[in-house]
Structure 1
Amino acid sequence: MTVYTPLCFRGKKILAPMVRVGTLPMRLLALDYGADIVYCEELIDLKMLQCKRVVNEVLGTVDFVAPNERIIFRTCERERHCVVFQMGSADAERALAVAKLVEGDVAGIDINMGCPKEYSTKASMGAALLSDPDKIESVEDTVNLVKRIEKTGIAAIAVHGRKKEERPQHPVHCDVIRAISEAVSIPVIANGGSHDFIKEYKDIETFQKATAASSVMIARAAMWNPSIFRKEGLFPLKKVMQDYIKYAVRYDNHYTNTKYCLCQMLREQLETPQGKKLHAAQSTQEICEVFEMADFYEETAAIFEAKKTSVETEAEVEDDEVEDPDVIKMSVRFDKREYPPQITPKMYLLEWCRKEKHPQPVYETVQRPLDRLFCSVVTVAEQKYRSTLWDKSKKLAEQAAAIVCLRTLGVPEGKLDEGENDLINKRKREDQDHLNNRDHGEDVAEPSLKKANFIEETSDMNVPKMPR
């Protein structure tokens, strides 16, 4: 059997039923319909350890954000006392570090020792842990394994009633789950009944009795229709999908995941006109249009835009209160479409400083924790310049600061509408010389030194964060 090992639930009584898999919109929907506990999708420890914890004041969420700005895990206050963080790990120290990272935002931590998929087992995670006595004490059979795990101090254990080589189409082994339930004193959570048992709420109790488990964990049946948690019976699928879409829009769920979840709900209806339109959708807005929710999308988008503007304004006021009053400011952004290829304001500013015998420009960049945006201050000839607008990257923020400086000095910044100038002509001459040298068979590796004057100077400094 494959097992999951929830480490703790902060003293919360474990009840039936619960949903095992899902991003934030699906988890919240399951809670609305009656689930007591919800699990996130399995998240790999190495990926989580790269993340920063960010409070998203626009959405009202806590986001764990990877270096590439991708949201790896998103949660909110509504589910804080009932969401279990499911982790893939093959290393105790890494698992502990991740647990400490998220412990203040979740109700429990679960180590996945059941995933049979290759990406998990190849990394010695999931079901691979079951055969590694160094990772989970030596065992001879499933019941003895669970007894040994129980001694580590876990609060509960979830058992998926199939062997690691079996798949959902194979029958679930209720007798083995029952044997485990009877062998240990901690709560046992029965999983794997979607295919054989669980079609509606009353089937949850049937599965629980068959396994003698303390509670029941549901994955696929809950994906097909999350209203399976309703004692009063299933909601029509149209209502369920619309309820789900509202959460997906409200919490800015990526449209590919939203589409996947809706496809899981439609199942045999995927070949209908609506199903085909869903399959063709390439954005959250298009998904909303498929389900006659375009007005809801536009209204919600407008609300978020207003919130974002309000938050940014408050942050800018706060920044201004603590900022050096001698900094020259303008409201500008850098748009690379307005400049020739390989020509930027930073290059122009650097060239101007060299002509005027000034030290090269110095950029100081900070990141705002509120929204992870950047602002840069450039110092030229002992005067500081910056844009009042915050940008999504350090490079864009530095270019904006350079623009402010150039415009204050009345110096060309290289825009297409300024026409050709000495710097662009010099670049063209160098490019032509490079081509001529290549045509004559000369070594073209060295001439890159000729371009040194026009390569942007960049700082290796780490970007600090603005204090809150």
Structure 2
Amino acid sequence: MASPRLSFRNITALAPMVRVGTLPMRLLALDYGADVVYCEELIDLKMVQCQRVVNTVLQTVDFVAPDDRVMFRTCEREKDRVVFQMGTADPDRALAVARLVEKDVAAVDVNMGCPKEYSTKGGMGAALLSDPDKIEAILKKLVAGVSIPVTCKIRILPSLQETVDLVQRIERTGVAAVAVHGRFKEERPRHPVHCDYIQAVAQAVSVPVIANGGSLDLVKTNADVAEFKRASGASSVMLARAAMWNASVFSSQGPLPLEKVMEDYLKYAIRYDNNAFNTKYCLCQMLRDKVESPLGKQVQAAQTNTEISKAYGLQTFYQHTQEELQARRDTSQTSSQPERPVMDGDVTTMAIRFERREYPPQITPKMFLLEWSRKEKLEQPHYDTVERSQDRSFQSTVTVAEKKYRSSLWEKSKKFAEQASAIVCLRTLGIPEGRIGEEDSGLVSKRKREGKINGSAEEKRKKLHVASIPETVSSGVAVETNGDHHRAEQP
């Protein structure tokens, strides 16, 4: 059943803040009455390399980078209410990221208002405001390419007319809403928000306009949200810092004591295995001027979620949660089935990554596949490797006995991609691959396993190396060694 389309009229939203829009904070905001929550701005170059992983232990969907960092984590509860916000300056990359996450979020948003250097130096964030053609290209590509709503967030331009003209152009791309931060690119939170600009934009377009930037001056409690909406003439209100300081600002019953809010937040952080340093950062932001209090100093000194839990007297909750998660891990490991091959046209695929640490120093899956092919008197395995331009990742297809095998995961190097395809072939055929702890199959000789080669091969290696030196210097051709086999390859 398809998710309901998110409406951006008459909502309050937790806007993304750097390092804050993680799952625990978003769920906390929903608890207290936020209608929509945004993730923190995530850069397209990092996200496009991620793999979607269903986390059965945490009951989440994780988007995991090649270095195993979780870049974005979400769950079923927020699926129809979370907006994925990205930093991008490239239409094709933006679309690739949007398609990666579109089944797990309610909408995608392009941040065109961030003035921080990490965003603008790549042509993203507020840097896009000076390139309306690129803005239009990105948004049109997204609107046409995904099945969920697309929105964007901007800052106001030097003149009112420029701002109105830009938003009208954005509206014509087909976006579902536009968030307007009522400050100029060079202004910071200490500067007053320009409600008149937001109001002029709202009157000039029919698409919902979301007012942003009122946390410091205009919104202290939930009662102020309606006033900010009225003053700006917007359809909706987006809060960032006010929600970070006390997420119960969304509650129609009035703000809750900060101690209660911090405890509720910390329970979510423990439940969803939030990074300890992110948890510390969020708690310190909530403490604000009390960060040097005894509790604040204890939080600042903590290095783990265990120590943070102790500071708030939640040791028992932490321990019970860890026991519950471990029980799920045990169940998952017991019931998990080996990765099964899936046909992609005429190619057998499996979601497998080559982990070098799982193999002895001298052993690789490619070596085992080559030796098995020789034993079976088959042609040498042939590897066809392609590079994905947007993130320079690689995927390889190996052909053995006229059948093709490939990992569905992209690797960070050509060599790793080839090893991954070799693993798919070996596991599909039930052939040993040489992993640590695997019983010796006899496919690879003891000399090769121990990294020893006979004198003849050693002599050939030396001769090849010497012969290659002038060529390497003059033409840039490098000689790559793989076991006893050599090939010249253009770097």
What is the identity, as a one-letter code, of the residue corresponding to 1:301? Answer: Q
Q: CA deviation at 1:104?
A: 1.2
Structure scoring higher RCO (CA < 8 A, sep ≥ 6) equals 1
Does structure 1 retain, via aligned residues, the 8 Å contact 2:132–2:166?
Answer: no
Aligned equivalent of 1:232: 253
Q: Which moved more, 1:108-117 or 1:131-140?
A: 131-140
The 1:152/1:384 distance shift into structure 2, 3 A limit, reads closer
Which deviates the most, 137-146 or 61-70?
137-146
Identify if the C-alpha distance between structure 1 residues 343 and 115 changes in structure 2 by more than 3 Å, giving closer, same or farther: closer
1:100–1:306 Cα change, 3 Å: same
Indicate the residue corresponding to 2:439 in structure 1.
405
SS at match of 1:195: coil
Residues 189-228 of structure 1 aligned to structure 2 (within 5 Å):
189-228=210-249
CA shift for structure 1 position 93 = 2.1
5 Å-filtered alignment, 1:325-344, equals: none
> C-alpha distance in 2, partners of 1:378/1:290?
51
- Aligned residue number for residue 57 of structure 2: 58
Instruction: Name the structure 1 match of 2:394.
Output: none
Question: Residue in 2 aligned with 1:70?
Answer: 69
The separation in 1 between residues aligned to 2:130 and 2:6, in whole angstroms, is 30
2:35 and 2:81 in contact (8 A); partners too = yes
User: What amino acid maps onto 1:103 in structure 2?
Assistant: E
After TM superposition, the structure 1 stretch with the greater mean CA deviation from structure 2, 116-125 or 12-21, is 12-21
Q: Is the counterpart of residue 19 in structure 1 residue 14 in structure 2?
A: yes
- What TM-score comes out, normalization by structure 2 length? 0.67
Partner of 1:174: 195
Q: Deviations over 1:231-281 (max 9, x none)?
A: 111111111111111111111111111111111101111111211111111
Structure 2 equivalent of residue 297 of structure 1: 318
User: Is residue 385–residue 405 contact of structure 1 (8 Å, CA) maintained in 2?
Assistant: no
Pair 1:377–1:211, CA change in 2 (3 A)? closer
Partner Cα distance (1:128, 1:179) in 2: 23
- Going from structure 1 to structure 2, the CA distance change for 1:385 and 1:291 (only over 3 Å counts) comes to farther
Q: Deviations over 1:327-352 (max 9, x none)?
A: xxxxxxx9x9xxxxx97898xx99xx
Contact 2:176 2:207 in 1 (8 A): yes
Report the Cα offset of residue 292 of structure 1. Answer: 0.9
Q: Which residue of 2 aligns with 1:462?
A: none
The Cα of 1:15 is off from its aligned counterpart by: 2.7
* Partner of residue 49, structure 1: 48
Q: Is the 1:54–1:65 contact (alpha carbons within 8 Å) kept by the matching residues of 2? A: yes
Tell me the residue number matched to 1:442: none
Residue of structure 1 equivalent to 2:288: 267
Gaps of 5+ in 2: 137-156, 341-354, 382-399, 410-419, 454-464, 467-479, 486-491
Runs of 4+ that moved beyond 4 A: 137-140, 316-319, 342-346, 364-369, 374-379, 383-386, 452-457
1:253 equivalent to 2:300? Answer no
Alignment of 1:288-367 (within 5 A): 288-316=309-337
| Partner Cα separation in structure 1 for residue 171 and residue 106 of structure 2 | 19
1:4-47 CA-partner distances (Å, limit 9, x unpaired): xxxx9925253331101211110011000000000111111121
Structure 2 letter corresponding to 1:405: E
Task: Select the structure of larger CA radius of gyration.
Answer: 1
Displacement after TM superposition at 1:455 (Å): 7.3
User: 1:9·1:155 contact (CA, 8 Å) conserved in 2?
Assistant: no
Q: Which amino acid aligns with 2:289?
A: E
AA partner of residue 117 (structure 1): K
Cα distance in structure 2, aligned partners of 1:318 and 1:66: 20
RMSD: 4.4
Give % identity.
54
* Distance in 1 of aligned mates of 2:74 and 2:235: 26
Structure 2 counterpart of 1:38, which letter? V
What's the CA shift for 1:134? 2.2
Shift of 1:128: 1.2
Distance in 1, matches of 2:178 and 2:8, equals: 13
Q: Distance in 1 between matches of 2:229 and 2:407?
A: 51
Name structure 1 gaps, 5 residues minimum. Answer: 1-7, 320-333, 337-341, 387-396, 414-422, 428-444, 447-451, 458-468
1:416-431 to structure 2, matched below 5 A, reads: none
Q: Counterparts of 1:216 and 1:303 in 2: how far apart (Å)?
A: 38
Q: Summarize the Cα distance change of 1:186–1:307 in structure 2 as closer, same or farther, 3 Å threshold.
A: same
Q: Distance in 2 between matches of 1:344 and 1:378?
A: 20
